[in-house]
Structure 1
Amino acid sequence: MKAIRSEIVVGLTLLVLGAGACSSQGESSVEKAGAGKPPVAVEVAPAVEADIEESIEVVGSLEPKFAADIKSEFTAVVEEVYVTEWVRVRKGMPLAKLDTREAEAALQAARAGLLQAEVAETRASRELDRAMRLREAGLVTQQSLDEARTALEASQAATAAARAQLQAAETRLAKAVLRAPFDGTVAYRGVNPGDRVENMGGEPLFRIVDNRLLELTVSVPSTALSSLRTGQPLEFSTDAIPGRTFRGKVQFINPSADPVSRSVKVVAHVPNDEETLRGGLFVKGRILTGTRRGVLQVPRLALVDWDPSKGVAAVFVVNGDTAEKRPVWTGSATPHAVEVTQGLQPGERVVTRGAFNLRSGDRVLVSPLPEAAPTP
């Protein structure tokens, strides 16, 4: 029995020693593997001092500055329509004509009423002249003279009223022809000959827009108001016309902020003489608020774990053939570069491509930047 126990103890001892030897060999192999990790291919760029444009990122929609819904000012039947949708019109060009028979009859009646009033005024004027001569001869009383003068004044007032009624009838007849209020394009036509239109009611008969000057309405956070001014340039792009940048100018700033979002509405004017842009397009852009000189910047691609709201990020700084992960503090940003306020020195190289494979202390192999193609 003692012999069996001795053999078990010896066997366990040999197993422990063998396991220790294997563990030592495994650790040694892992260390050798880590030391032999190939360098990571990366691209780098230096941190440089350059001018940076301060800006406020905005989004919004374009709308024509000048647009009008055309409606009838009285109830009538449409007699003729002269234009269709999407055609250009000039100011004063006729769009449609309403039935004018009632308006023409009212005009004739007004002319007749004016003639009657003028005849009555002429008669009253002659009666006053006769009364004045008779008064000089002592043949009429002063009361009769005053009555004649009053009759003339009343007839003169009646003539003025008849003349105003004639002018109103002429205006009503002129409004039977609907005209373009300004140069533009017929964006909508909602009427046909024979349709009955109501006095300023229902849908518009036409909608005229002028796309040569657009308004871009955006919302700006109240925290950025201190740097916002009228006249500042604005640049933007839209997915509807890729690859192009358009420009405008801040025209109006709402004097009050929205109580819910704490933002302020800003309106910019966008010249559009070629009418490339259209009303209703969604755009993204920025208001340029100023320029700062000698600002330390790195490419956006160099930032790792960037939190713009807190202004913190990290970069991999290349020193020799080793990359070191370093925290940095960020400031303003442009579409391609970000200001670094702390954590880097000018000239230090940071990784712009390949950082996702890196850990602090890894060896790196810096890839040369592609050379520009020769100019033919």
Structure 2
Amino acid sequence: MKRKYIIGLIIALVIALIVFKLAANKSVLNKKNAPTADTVLRIPVKAAAAQEQTLDINMVKTGSLAPFKEAKVLAPVSGTILQLRFNLGDEVYEGQVLAVIDTRLLQLDLQKAQSNAGKLKRDLDTYTELLQGQAATQEKVNEVRQNYLDAANQVSQIKKQIEDATIKAPTSGTISLKPVEQGVFVNAAADLATIVNLSQAKVQLNLTETEVYQVKQGQTVKITTDVYPGREFQGKVSFISPQADETYNYKVEIMAQNKEGALLRSGTFVYADFSRKTSQQILLIPREALTESIKDAAVYVVENNVVHQKPIKTGIELKGLIQVISGIKKGEVVVTSGQINLKDGTPVSISK
């Protein structure tokens, strides 16, 4: 009886062990079949939301002065300069004789050309009479006539060269460059002088896309410069470029009267006050959010803990912030730190 009891106890223990083992195996299988936890590697970044801000914008731009007119005096013919009637800094007027080039060789060429043209004119008269008497052909008369016309044209050309040897100022102004001296030989198209007209000051500057739409042709502009503290020069917008350059800026020119006793010289830096203070609602993001240059600006936008790179168009910069003209909207979150480890579609976690 005792033997049977022991055998039954052993069997019960074996069964209990088997049941325990099966339960343990089921638990392991359940853990394996259970959904896995999120083990995706997320890149830690810092981010900020795009925010709108109202700014008072006072348009004062820096520009530089260019001559109202600038003209080069070129030698129209080759020859030796017999007379040079100007010096550096001289004031000249339009049409004034500045230089005279030796034309003695041209005079000899003219005599030869005139002699040849006279002979051909006599030949033409002779052959025309012979044609009337049927002693010459029409073809021969046409040939002689063409030769005469060519010779007459050569005479006219040499006369024009002799006339051009007296060189006159193409515009009024000041002689700013004198690269030659009297007595030297110059070739045709050689540079004899540069004339700068400063009767008006031409201010050249660049405006951004946002700024250029606030400026109108003929608008009055106040010009100041550090050279003449406390003085103002009045100008008007004379030109607004219809097309942006490669940096997305628009060239603008302003014509200002040059005051006696306070002459503005070419190359001087000036400030152009457009006297237009406006309040604008603009979208701003931190400057460090840009992943490229301002020309090819782009940012990483965080959506559902994943970044997407978006190109944007930028405007003015303001104390570490930069205006976004297009590309993202108010409230969108942009990455401001950690972009070097990112690409489009990278999961991220935003750290404080």
Q: TM-score range by the shorter chain?
A: 0.5 to 0.7
- Note if 1:309 corresponds to 2:339: no
Q: Deviations over 1:280-321 (max 9, x none)?
A: 2211122245889xxxxxxxxxxxxxxx92699xxxxxxxxx
Question: Structure 2: how far apart are the matches of 1:121 and 1:289?
Answer: 76
How far apart are 1:62 and its partner, in Å? 1.1
Fraction of identical pairs, as percent: 25
Helix, strand or coil at the partner of 1:117: helix
Helix, strand or coil at the partner of 2:229: coil
TM-score (norm 2): 0.58
1:216 aligned to 203, 206, 209, which one?
203
Confirm or deny: 8 A CA contact 2:59 2:277 kept in the other structure.
no
Question: Structure 1: how far apart are the matches of 2:200 and 2:119?
Answer: 52
How far apart are 1:207 and its partner, in Å? 1.0
Confirm or deny: 8 A CA contact 1:218 1:267 kept in the other structure.
yes
TM-score (norm 1): 0.55
How far apart are 1:189 and its partner, in Å? 1.9
2:272 aligned to 253, 267, 285, which one?
285
Q: Deviations over 1:197-246 (max 9, x none)?
A: 23335xx3211121113321101122212212222111111222222111
2:151 aligned to 149, 157, 162, which one?
162
- Note if 1:240 corresponds to 2:224: no
Q: Deviations over 1:254-291 (max 9, x none)?
A: 2222333x321111222337483222221112224588
- Note if 1:73 corresponds to 2:76: yes
Instruction: State the match for 1:250 in structure 2.
Output: 237
How far apart are 1:155 and its partner, in Å? 2.5
Question: Structure 2: how far apart are the matches of 1:117 and 1:54?
Answer: 78
Structure 2 stretches lacking a partner, 5+ long: 1-55, 280-316, 322-352
Question: Structure 1: how far apart are the matches of 2:259 and 2:143?
Answer: 58
Instruction: State the match for 1:126 in structure 2.
Output: 129
Alpha-carbon spacing, 1:273–1:153, altered in 2? closer, same or farther (3 Å) = farther
Confirm or deny: 8 A CA contact 1:54 1:288 kept in the other structure.
no
Alpha-carbon spacing, 1:109–1:54, altered in 2? closer, same or farther (3 Å) = farther
Question: Structure 1: how far apart are the matches of 2:252 and 2:179?
Answer: 33
AA of the residue aligned to 2:197: D
How far apart are 1:63 and its partner, in Å? 1.2
Alpha-carbon spacing, 1:54–1:284, altered in 2? closer, same or farther (3 Å) = same
Question: Structure 2: how far apart are the matches of 1:189 and 1:82?
Answer: 11
How far apart are 1:103 and its partner, in Å? 1.4
Alpha-carbon spacing, 1:233–1:55, altered in 2? closer, same or farther (3 Å) = farther
Alignment of 1:1-376 (within 5 A): 56-131=59-134, 148-201=137-190, 204-260=191-247, 262-272=248-258, 274=260, 276-289=263-276, 309=318
Confirm or deny: 8 A CA contact 1:233 1:249 kept in the other structure.
yes
Question: Structure 2: how far apart are the matches of 1:169 and 1:218?
Answer: 46
How far apart are 1:181 and its partner, in Å? 0.7
Question: Structure 1: how far apart are the matches of 2:146 and 2:278?
Answer: 70
Confirm or deny: 8 A CA contact 1:74 1:198 kept in the other structure.
yes
Question: Structure 2: how far apart are the matches of 1:242 and 1:252?
Answer: 27
Question: Structure 2: how far apart are the matches of 1:113 and 1:56?
Answer: 70
Helix, strand or coil at the partner of 2:69: strand
Question: Structure 2: how far apart are the matches of 1:273 and 1:91?
Answer: 21
Helix, strand or coil at the partner of 1:241: coil
Question: Structure 1: how far apart are the matches of 2:164 and 2:122?
Answer: 30
Q: How many equivalent residue pairs?
A: 228
